[in-house]
Amino acid sequence: MVQLLQGAALPVAVCAGSLCARWGSSHGGHKSGQYQRSHGPNWRHALAGLLAGTGAVLAYGLHHSQTEQAATTIVQPIAPASSLPIYTQDEVTKHRSVEEGVWVTYKGSVYDITEFVSMHPGGDKILLAAGGALEPFWALYAVHSQGHVLEILSEYKVGELSAEDRRKQQSVKSTDPYSTDPERHPALRINSLKPFNAEPPPEILSDNYITPSAIFFKRNHLPVPQVDPKSYRLQVEGVSGGAPLSLSLEELKTRFPKHTVTATLQCAGNRRSEMNKVKQVKGLNWGIAAISNATWSGARLKDVLLAAGYRPEVAQQTSHVQFEGLDSDVTGTTYGASIPLNKAVSEEGDVLLAYQMNGEDLPADHGYPVRVVVPGTVGARNVKWLGKIIVSDEESSSHWQQNDYKGFSPATDWDTVDFKSAPAIQELPVQSAITQPAEGAVVERSAEEVTVKGYAWSGGGREVVRVDVSLDGGRTWQVAQLQSSEKGQVPAPSPPPGRAWAWKLWELTAPLPPAAQELEIVCKAVDNSYNMQPDSVAPIWNLRGVLSNAWHRVKVTVKEDEEEQKLL
């Protein structure tokens, strides 16, 4: 089993692709101290910088989670050391295993990274680069383009690539798989640039009941694929008694009734930053806005499965419907996820193969030309750039279904976690957060009242029926007004039971408590199964930082008017 660095925060913002697929599950095998024996003296310094204790690691993680835009700056090539031997590509290619040695090239230099393999934070996926160039792999995750990563690499330099092979490498355009990613709205707060992950500012989020597509939170696991709508085919396989089906975009649009659903999507990691304040977790440092609400139109998954030969009477209760995206890493591994068959085929499940978002073609970041929309279910199962649907007795074998997006006890750490012991997240628990005022805002005493706004939503089609707001840290509560349409519009009729897919915005205007110099504003929502949000974060903390739905708290200062201040 490959040994990994413990505690290294490198993948905080980037362990999202299959290159990191075994990060979580193989991590448990680590024995502390082992890495110290396996490298030379010069190594220690660079590694110590990486491992200089929690403080440094957290600072590093924080730096990265804020934005990775800096990572796009051009990396300086390492100066060649002419005393080292010259190798041909053929000689390098012979070193592709731990037994034969693991060699790689980078910008014309040759590196023997055999000893580093067991320490690679991304796991043994590093072997995919063995015998070849690092560039295409590093391009996939921008975290590698950091000065200290190059420092580490330089310790392993063993030679130079021959001039001829350098020329050959340079003639193969070193493509950035993210170079064709679409333009994004400048208002978005970027958590990771490659892959692109960003959320809108909270105060903008609650301005619209239907989130404009441009500021709808983006959560990509891989580069945005370029899909030609003319040649696009959706494959449907595995239907018991049926035959494989292949649909063009046009066929999907014309052979099946168009169905429209307004549904909120939420990332499993929404509000992860609050868990990070308790104790560092792995994952993008989302604020409260990895959640948005849109109107989706497309064919029902149920109708497509029926067309592929699905017959309800032969359905096995425990079956699953797997989805494969067209987004993939350099190894060709695509994004994948699955949902239970009963959700997929339920008349009331409203699962869509959506080709429109808010009345227009899906934007590139949201899965053009076709994505799955699984209302009430965690964002990760709403597979974008959908390429294939497979009915199966098994859940998706993907990293994201098996070894990610699951909840654990606060007692579970990376040494003890058993991903098989927890179910893949499907329906999400009840959630709410305050979008206004912002943390640290100042309220004027002369205003006499304060307006608090936010969103509330629950998974599984459970309707939010009440939001309680406290101005005093949870000691006393007031009931907020719920809003289930754009302001000023006639509210939508109450959804049928179990099909409340869209969030509610809420608002409370309350008198400023006399004498209070600080308000601790708290919100908590209740859904129609009367599930409540837990009071505090620490007891629901989990190593992946998912399912963060404790009461949301915002502290604001009450500023006395100058005249009053004079009197005091």
Catalytic site positions? 120, 144, 219, 267, 405
CB of 435 to its own copies, least distance (A): 21
Going by C-beta distance under 8 Å and a sequence separation of 6 or more, which residues neighbour residue 288? 202, 270, 271, 433, 434, 435, 552
Give whichever of 150 and 532 is closer to its own copies, judged by the CB atom.
532
Mask: binding to its own copies, 320-359, rule CB under 8 A, as x and -? --------------------x-xx----x-----------
The structure tokens listed for 564 are 């009053």
- Contact region with its own copies (CB under 8 A), list: 11-19, 434-442, 462-470, 555-563: 462-470
Among 67, 534, 559, 560, binds its own copies (CB under 8 A): 534
Residue 423 within binding range of its own copies, rule CB under 8 A:
yes
Residue 149 within binding range of its own copies, rule CB under 8 A:
no
What is the size of the binding site for its own copies (CB under 8 A)?
49
The burial of 449, by beta-carbon neighbours within 10 Å (0-12 exposed, 13-18 middle, 19 or more buried), is given as exposed
Give whichever of 363 and 407 is closer to its own copies, judged by the CB atom.
407
CB of 399 to its own copies, least distance (A): 20
User: Is the Cβ–Cβ distance between 105 and 161 less than 8 Å?
Assistant: yes
Q: Which residues pair with 377 in a beta bridge?
A: 427
Residue 536 within binding range of its own copies, rule CB under 8 A:
yes
Give whichever of 198 and 537 is closer to its own copies, judged by the CB atom.
537
Among 359, 479, 561, 565, binds its own copies (CB under 8 A): 479
Alpha carbon separation from 413 to 1, 22, 358, 417 (Å, rounded): 19, 15, 41, 6
| Gap between the Cα atoms of 58 and 314, Å rounded | 52
Go through 9-31 and write b for each residue having 16 or more CB atoms within 10 A of its CB, e for each that does not.
bbbbbbbbbbbbbbbbbbbeebe
Cα–chain center distance at 185 = 18
Among 26, 67, 213, 528, binds its own copies (CB under 8 A): 528
| Gap between the Cα atoms of 3 and 123, Å rounded | 8
Question: Residue 223's closest CA among 349, 350, 329?
Answer: 329
- Contact region with its own copies (CB under 8 A), list: 74-82, 97-105, 291-299, 470-478: 470-478
Among 426, 432, 483, 484, binds its own copies (CB under 8 A): 426
Mask: binding to its own copies, 247-266, rule CB under 8 A, as x and -? --------------------
Among 436, 460, 521, 554, binds its own copies (CB under 8 A): 460
- Contact region with its own copies (CB under 8 A), list: 122-130, 226-234, 383-391, 536-544: 536-544
| Gap between the Cα atoms of 135 and 450, Å rounded | 54
CB of 400 to its own copies, least distance (A): 16
Residue 229 within binding range of its own copies, rule CB under 8 A:
no
Alpha carbon separation from 238 to 197, 247, 351, 394, 411 (Å, rounded): 33, 15, 18, 11, 39
Q: Which residues pair with 105 in a beta bridge?
A: 110, 133
SS3 content of the chain, % helix, strand, coil (to 5): 25, 25, 45
The structure tokens listed for 351 are 């699962």
Catalog residues that contact its own copies under the rule CB under 8 A. 317-318, 340, 342-343, 348, 407, 409-412, 422-423, 425-430, 459-460, 462-463, 465-466, 468, 474, 476-479, 496-498, 524, 526, 528-536, 539-540, 547, 549
